[in-house]
A and B are shown apart, each in its own frame.
Chain A
Amino acid sequence: MRRWLREQFDRYFGSDPVRLLFALGGLFFATLVVLALLYWVVGKVVTAGLEAWGWDLVRLLLGLLGVMVVVFGNALFLVWAERKVAGHMQIRIGPKEVGPYGLLQSIADSVKLLAKEIITPRFVDRPLYLLAPLLIFVPCLVAMVVIPFDARLQVRDINVGIVMILAFSSLTVLAIFMAGWGSVNKYSLIGGVRSISQSIAYEIPMLLSILPVVMMARSLSLKEVVEAQSPYWFVLVQPVAFLIYFVCAVAETNRTPFDLPEAESELVAGYHTEYSGMRFSLFFLAEYTNIFIVCALATTFFLGGYKGPVLPGVVWFFLKTYALIFVIMWFRWTFPRVRFDQLLNFSWKFLIPLAMANLLVTGGLLKL
């Protein structure tokens, strides 16, 4: 392809340099016209939107931009952090060549992934296969909208925020399933099936562990949950709920020891076996974003969110969140992968009854 382009280029422009000049000029002019048109259209839309919704639209657009920055910044940092943490836990150094302490390693990695060829296997179920890597981002974006990063740093304070995050989080599983099914590959399919049964099993105790928090805060808005933790954090009064939530969070994000949907030693790479290049890295990005979101939610529900002395709220929020993420990385190099029957039995026979009992006790104590 590249050689063909080069031949065409030489044949057309090689003989006559003036032609090249004209072509470049034309291209420049066309770009200007397109940009001007774009500017005009965007301006029209923005002013129309401003008339209709006022500052809501600006807030929404800025929020979207902020969410993008958080998603990509977080993924870049976590890729580096994971390798560094893994290295130190195995008495290695980890990445150190690119940039100071290897900090730019993830940028080099992402450039490599961008440059890779994207291969679509011939017999895949095309619509499902192509939609899956995009769909996996929807729950991430939805969750980011309602997470309060600081007292005033929140895209939207929705009064059913908690339910909304939980409702959309099941879309992740749908995307994983679409990837696993659409790939027409037995390893991918097994990964997809495992992901679904795992998520059905662990969504229930996760919900049941958040309910006591909602009952104590008397609200479904994330901001009010944070505000309700003013004398003490909920982790002090709800330690059992916190532990259940955290275990379920690790399971929902498919991290070791619950990484059965993508177990490398059994399923090649699970549901994303057939994906290459940027499509693969979208799954990667979504996984890191999901880790961030479950830890941010744990911070919001149990660790007082943005509350903390001296430092500004955002700093506290990110400190708590990344501390939890570190614990999840720590898990990865501490626990071996569980067997599938152990995984399901642990949820259905231990976590769910425990969460129910916790809910009952909380309800009783709150009524007293």
Chain B
Amino acid sequence: MEGSLFQWIVFFAMAFLAIFCALMVVTRRNPIHSAVFLIVNFFAIAVIYLLLGSQFIAIAQVMVYAGAIMMLVVFTIMLISVEEARRVPMVRLSAGKVFGVILAILLFVELLYGLMVKALPGKVGPFTPERLQAVGPVRTVGGLLMSKYLLAFELASVVLLIGIIGAVILAKKER
């Protein structure tokens, strides 16, 4: 076993917390409770990132997911009436459900495939915790974004811009 006992304890605690919260998110009837559990889930995952020595990714996880995105989710839940959300009848088997189940199974198979085939246990990647500490996590991420992944980075910003423009158009149309 690599890592100290303390690291293993924290990892298992956070892993179980994340899974537990994920289960709670999909089983709660009250959407606000789901949202709060989702935030706890994000925090648990942030702690796992911390264990990997990448502080910046952990903080970014908290900032983007637990902060910004959850704020929007919560805001949306507040604006739609919860009573209405509760009264949604349970449809037996809708097209959406079938599609969702297929997607979920596909994702699971992909994950299994990735774990079984791609990941080589014991092989150390280029960014070990020690190297991250030496260079600094922010510098590492920033350097990669500006060199190797520049195209993906720019494309992502274009996609976000399109999203913003789309939101503005939708909002204007309603008037």
Q: Name A's B-contacting residues (CB within 8 A).
A: 52, 125, 127-128, 158-160, 163-164, 166-168, 170-171, 173-174, 177-178, 181, 189, 192-193, 196-197, 199-200, 220
Number of A-B contacts (CB under 8 A): 65
Interface 1/0 per residue, B40-84 and A, CB below 8 Å: 000000000000000110011011001110111011001100000
Contacts of B72 in A (CB 8 A): 200
State A196–B71 Cα separation when bound (angstroms). 7
Interface residue SS majority, chain A:
helix
Cβ contacts under 8 Å, B18 to chain A: none
20 new A-B contacts at CB < 8 Å, known A167-B63, A189-B78: A128-B33, A128-B36, A158-B55, A159-B136, A160-B137, A160-B138, A163-B63, A164-B59, A167-B60, A167-B66, A168-B62, A171-B66, A171-B67, A174-B74, A177-B74, A177-B78, A192-B78, A193-B75, A193-B78, A196-B75
Provide the bound-state CA to CA distance between A164 and B56, in Å.
9
Beta-carbon nearest neighbor of A177 in chain B = B74
Quick check: A220 and B138 within 8 Å, CB to CB?
yes
Closest B residue to A178 using CB positions = B36
Q: How far is the CA of A200 from the CA of B67 in the complex (A)?
A: 10
With A167-B67, A170-B68, A181-B32 in contact, do A160 and B75 touch (Cβ < 8 Å)? no
A200 touches B75 (CB 8 A): yes
- Name B1-44 residues within 8 Å CB distance of A: 4, 6, 30, 32-33, 36, 39
Chain B at the A interface: SS class = helix
Are B36 and A163 touching (Cβ within 8 A)? no
Residues of chain B at interface, number, CB under 8 A: 26
Q: Which partner residue on chain A sits nearest B46 by CB separation?
A: A167
Roughly how many angstroms separate A109 CA and B153 CA in the complex, as a whole number?
54
CB neighbours (8 Å) of B59 from chain A are 160, 163-164, 167
Instruction: Give the nearest-CB partner of B32 in chain A.
Output: A181
- Residues in A whose Cβ lies below 8 Å from that of B60: 163, 167
Specify which of A52, A158, A189 is in contact with B6 (CB 8 Å cutoff).
A52
Residues on B with C-beta less than 8 A from A170 are: 63, 66-68, 71
B164 to chain A, nearest CB (A): 12
Q: Which residues of A contact B70 (CB under 8 A)?
A: 174
- Picked from B32, B74, B138, the residue with its CB within 8 Å of the CB of A159 is B138
Q: Which chain B positions have C-beta within 8 A of A163?
A: 56, 59-60, 63, 138
Chain B nearest CB from A368 CB (Å) reads 20
**A173: chain B residues within 8 A (beta carbon):** 71
Residues of B within 8 A of A127 (CB): 33
Look across to chain A and name the residue whose beta carbon is closest to the beta carbon of B137.
Answer: A160
Closest to A163 in B: B59
What separation, in Å, do the CA atoms of A175 and B90 have in the docked complex?
A: 32
**Cβ contact within 8 Å between B71 and A199:** yes
With a cutoff of 8 Å between Cβ atoms, the chain A residues found around residue B63 in the complex are: 163, 166-167, 170
